[in-house]
A and B are shown apart, each in its own frame.
Chain A
Amino acid sequence: MKKYWLIGVFLLVLTLAGCGNNGSLTVTDAWSRSLPASADTGAMYLTITNHSGQDDVLTAVSVSVAKMAELHRSTMTGDVMKMEPLPGGVVDIPNDETVIFEPGGLHVMLMGLTAPLTAGESFSATLHFQNAEDIAVTVFVKE
């Protein structure tokens, strides 16, 4: 009996130890590109996987290094790149799907940077969802 109890505790600890995971949505690979100290605007990218059993919506992101963070998408029509806020300022994260924020596509636009984005450093961000609880992540700044 003791063996099963220990295995149970072990599995529970493993589950709770998942980083950036509130048990239903997983956020991985949060990163940002380094910029000169004079830059006012930056971007953040990440990957969200939804195994919660229901559709969800990313409604907002707050970051420690900028006054505002908004959800945007770059779209290319021919040769022209346009960047626009997403309708309603939100991103759908359907159940059983992975949504990737990456250069040239979805990104979190960081506006009014209050600290420089320096390669090798990191900052914190919190993702807010319609259904799931907030997820806090560490965003790594790459060159």
Chain B
Amino acid sequence: MYRQLIGLGLLLALLAACGTYEYKGSEYPGNSAPDFTLQSATGETVRLSEQAGNVVLLFFGYTHCPDVCPTTLGVARQVLNGLGNEAARVKFFFVTVDPERDSPANLASYTAHFHPDITALTGEPTALAAVYDAYGIFIEKEMQPDAVSEYSVTHTARVFLIDPQGKLRLSYVFGTPAEDILSDVRYILNLNSE
């Protein structure tokens, strides 16, 4: 009798342990992420639809950004480092919201500083505008007439997560700890492991 009870208790405990994972980010319905075609800082064409099999983390920012963008790229570094070997299946894309000042060379050195696996993306104004629009990215120049750097760019600061099937699954508000993003990325990679 007692053995049966213990056995039942263990079974229940195991079932409880296999509880559903709760995502840390805000969840999307899981539709296909809007595709885009942009250029890397080294001139290569990068299409979102060609990232199948990888998790893509997408962030929109600019290199003259003093606070928010370096902070987010610092988080990106922590996530990529935390992934270890699994980082090979994760792409972090940094799309410029300031193509006027963000030359490919500046973009390349900027993202490389934080982590070699962060890819800066730029493109023609119309191509960029289409991506901003597709992802609902608000962008506004704020003139800073007394400042050496002329203007700052107010922008949506979310990090988007696209899964290996190309579905837009999650996003993270500015300030989300790296561990939270890392946890979700690991979970999705494991769901999709070969």
Contacts and interface: CB of A to CB of B under 8 A. Distances in A.
A79 B25 CA distance: 13
A76 interface: yes
Interface string B169-181: 0000111000000
Contact of B155 (A70, A81, A104, A107): A81
B14 interface: no
Size category, A interface: 20 to 34
Contact of B113 (A34, A79, A103, A109): A34
Size category, B interface: 20 to 34
Interface in B48-79: 63-68, 70-71, 74, 77
Nearest to A83: B152
Interface string A39-58: 11111000000000000000
A37 to B, nearest CB: 7
B106 interface: yes
A111 B105 CA distance: 20
Contacts of B63: 39-41
B190 to A, nearest CB: 28
Interface in B118-170: 138, 142, 144, 146-149, 152, 154-158
Contacts of B12: none
A104 B74 contact: no
Interface string A63-99: 0000110101010100111111100000000000000
Interface of B: 63-68, 70-71, 74, 77, 105-106, 109-110, 112-113, 138, 142, 144, 146-149, 152, 154-158, 173-175
